[in-house]
Chain A
Amino acid sequence: MFYRESGQFKATYAEDSEIFPIRQDKIGIAVILAIAFLGIPLLAKTGFLSDYAFTAILTPFLIFSLAALGLNILTGYAGQLSLGTAAFMAVGAFASYNFMLRIDGMPILVAFILGGLCAAAVGIIFGLPSIRIRGFYLAAATLATQFFIVWCLTKVGWFTNYSSSGVITAQKIMMFGYTFDTSFSKYLFVLSVVSVMALLAKNMVRTNVGRSWMAIRDMDMAAEVIGFRPVRTKLMAFAVSSFYCGVAGALFAYAYLGTVEPEGFNLDLSFRILFMIIIGGVGSILGSFLGSAFIVLLPILLNMFTHFLDSSIGVDVPSGIASSIELMVFGAMIIFFLIVEPHGLARLWQIGKEKLRLWPFPH
C-alpha cells in the first residue's frame, strides 16, 4: 500500500540507474541518514543516549560494518573466500599508527588512507594464491595471512614502536584543529568515513569493476572469454577489499579501542566478520550493515535478557553460562541461515519489500 512504485516513471537511463530508483527507498535512506547524522546527536545532547550507546554499540557497529563490507567485496562479490580479514585490519591499524608516529604533521585521514593502501598491498600479495586455487583451498591459504601478519607484528618491534608489551596507543584523532576525543565525536567521525566508503563501494559494484568481480564469481571461464582478465580482477578485489578492511582496522584502533595489540586482530575477529556477512547477506552492501548490527547487538540483547531473568523471576544466570549461550545462539543462527536463507538478512529484507509491494492485496 505504501511501498509501491506504480506511477513512478523513468525517462532517462540516468534516472533508471540510480542507487535508489524507488521514491520510498529514497525517503527511507534519507530518514536513516538524518537519524544517524542529526537525530542521534540531538538525543545525545539532550541526554537520552549515554556514552555506553556510542562506545559499545554505535561505533563498533559502524566499524564492523566497514570491515564486513570489505570482506563482502572479496567474498560476496568476487567469490574469493578469505579468512584473513582481521590480518588486513591489523595492517591498516599498525600502518596508520606508524605513519602518524614517524611523519610529523601527518593528517589523520591521509594516515588512514595510507594504512588502507598498505593493507591493499598486503592483500595483493596474499591474494596471489587465488590465481591458482579457489574455495576451501584458498580459505586455507588466506589463513596463512592471519597467522603470519599477527606473528610479524608481534615479533618485529619496529611496528609497535618497541613497546615492551606489544600494545600500541593510538594517537588522538585531530582534524582542522578539532580533536575528536569524546565518544560522541568519534562516532560522528566514524559515521562520516563509513558513509562515504559505503557509497563508493555501492558505486563500484554497480559499474564495470563490480560486474567483473561478479562475473569471475559466477562463471570464471565465461568471464575470461568475454575479456575480463581473471588475475587482474581477483587481485583488484583483494586490493579493494583489503583497503576497506585496513581502514576499518585503523578506525578500530583509533576510534574504538584506543589501545590495541596485534593479538587483538586474531582469527576470532576474522570469523566474527565472516559470520556477519553470512548472516547479513553475502554479496550485498546492506547485508554488511545488517550482519554487523546483528552480531554487535546480539550479545547485548542476550545480556539484557539474562539480567531481566535475574531481576524479574530471580533466575540467576552465571556470566559464564551467559557467554556460552551467546556462542550457541551464534552457531545456531549461522546453521539456520546457511540452510534456510543463504543470502542472509538482506535477502529477507528484499523478500519483505516484494511482499510489501502487493500488500494488502495478494495480487
Chain B
Amino acid sequence: MDEGRKIGEVILDLKNISLRFGGVNALTDISFDVRQHEIRAIIGPNGAGKSSMLNVINGVYRPQEGEIVYLGKHRHDMDTYEAAKSGIARTFQNIALFKGMTVLDNIMTGRNLKMKSNFLLDALYWGPAQREEIAHRRKVEEIIDFLEIQHIRKTPVGRLPYGLQKRVELARALAAEPSILLLDEPMAGMNVEEKQDMCRFILDVNDQLGTTIVLIEHDMGVVMDISDRVVVLDYGRKIADGTPDEVRSNQDVIDAYLGVAH
C-alpha cells in the first residue's frame, strides 16, 4: 500500500442500523465506521445484506432504527438527493447505466449537481450555458482519460460489453467528484485482466483523488489485497470487523463465508 496515503478521521459512522422489509430482517443492529481515504470492504454470503447496507448509506432504503453520522451531521436516515449533494456516489451491482445515451452523456449526467444553468438558458445554448457545458465536458474528458475509455466516448452504452459498461458506471460516479464512493461488486463477472484493470482504477482513485471507498466484493483475493479494513455480514448481522488479516483468521468468518481448504 502507498506509504504517503494517510487514513484520516471517521467521516461516516453507522450506528445500530436495523432495516426490515415486512417480517424480513435485512439488517439487524449493524454498526461500523468509515475513515477518510480508506478502502473499506463489506463482504459476506449472498443475502447477507451488503447491498442493503449501501442502499441505507445513500438513502435508497430508510432504516427503521439507527443513526447515520456523515461529515459530523447526525441523521436518522439519508435522502438520495442529500446524499448525492453531500458527496456520496455509487455504482450498482446490476449495471444501472442510461442505456439509450452515449458514454459521454452518461458521464455528463454525473456532473448534474454541479451545473447551475437552467432549462431556459440550456434551450438557448448561449453564453453561460454553453460555457458551462464545455467546462464540464473538459472535466468529463479528464475522467475519460483516467479510465482509458476515450475510444468509446460516443458509443451508446447499450452496445458496450459488460466490462466496459462497469467502467463507464465508475466514470459516471467519479464525475460527481465524490468524497465517498460506494462500489457494489465492481468486479463481478469480469475476467482476470478486467479485474486487474478495475483494481488499478480503484487504487488510483483512492490514491490520486483521495476518494474514500466502500466496496462490496466476492473475490477474496481482491478484497484482502486492496482493502484497509473489512466488515463481514451474515444474515443481516455483523460477525466481524477489522483488518484483512484479522478477518481472515476469525473463526466465525471462516464458518460463515470463507470456509477452509480440504
**Which residues of A does B touch, CB under 8 Å?**
12-14, 17, 200-201, 203-204, 206-212, 214-215, 217-219, 221-229, 236, 240, 283
Contacts and interface: CB of A to CB of B under 8 A. Distances in A.
17 contacts: A13-B134, A13-B137, A17-B133, A203-B124, A204-B123, A207-B125, A208-B122, A209-B122, A211-B105, A211-B112, A214-B98, A215-B98, A218-B101, A224-B80, A227-B176, A228-B109, A228-B112
Interface in B168-188: 172-173, 176
B122 A204 contact: yes
B77 to A, nearest CB: 15
Nearest to B129: A207
Q: What secondary structure prevails in chain B residues at the interface with A?
A: helix
Contact of A283 (B100, B109, B129): B100
B162 interface: no
A207 B108 CA distance: 9
Contacts of B134: 12-14, 17
The 9 A-B residue pairs with the shortest CB-CB distance in the complex, in nearest-first order: A227-B84, A222-B96, A218-B98, A203-B125, A207-B122, A209-B119, A227-B113, A200-B123, A13-B137
Given A207-B117, A218-B98, A236-B119, A223 B109 contact: yes
A14 B109 contact: no
A162 B84 CA distance: 53
A214 B117 contact: no
Interface stretch (B2-10, B15-23, B85-93): B85-93
B138 interface: yes
Given A17-B137, A229-B81, A215 B117 contact: no
B96 A212 contact: no
Contact of B108 (A12, A211, A225, A228): A211
A217 B80 contact: no
B200 interface: no
A223 B84 CA distance: 11
B256 interface: no
A203 B122 contact: yes
Interface string B103-144: 001001110110101110011110001100110011001000
B69 interface: no
Among A207, A218, A219, A224, the most chain B Cβ lie within 10 Å of the Cβ of A207
Interface of B: 58, 60, 80-81, 83-85, 89-90, 92, 96-101, 105, 108-110, 112-113, 115, 117-119, 122-125, 129-130, 133-134, 137-138, 141, 172-173, 176
Given A17-B134, A240-B119, A226 B100 contact: no
Contacts of B85: 227
Contacts of B81: 224, 227, 229
Contact of A219 (B98, B112, B125): B98
A323 B115 CA distance: 52
B133 A226 contact: no
A204 B97 CA distance: 21
A224 B112 CA distance: 11
B256 to A, nearest CB: 30
A226 B115 contact: no
Given A207-B129, A227-B112, A227-B113, A214 B122 contact: no
A108 to B, nearest CB: 21
Contacts of A14: 130, 134
B105 A214 contact: yes
A223 B172 CA distance: 11
Contacts of A13: 134, 137-138, 141
A212 B84 contact: no
Contacts of A219: 96-99
Contacts of A208: 108, 112, 115, 117, 122, 133
A208 B133 CA distance: 8
B118 to A, nearest CB: 8
A362 B21 CA distance: 57
Nearest to A19: B125
Contacts of B80: 224-225
Nearest to A206: B125
A271 B72 CA distance: 55
A123 B172 CA distance: 32
B228 to A, nearest CB: 25
Contacts of A204: 119, 122-123
B143 to A, nearest CB: 14
A316 B195 CA distance: 71
Contacts of B98: 214-215, 217-219, 222-223
Contact of B96 (A201, A211, A221, A227): A221
Among A210, A214, A219, A227, the most chain B Cβ lie within 10 Å of the Cβ of A227
Contacts of A226: 84, 89, 109-110, 112-113, 172-173, 176
A217 B112 contact: no
A12 B133 CA distance: 13
B100 A218 contact: yes
Contacts of A210: 122
A331 B134 CA distance: 45
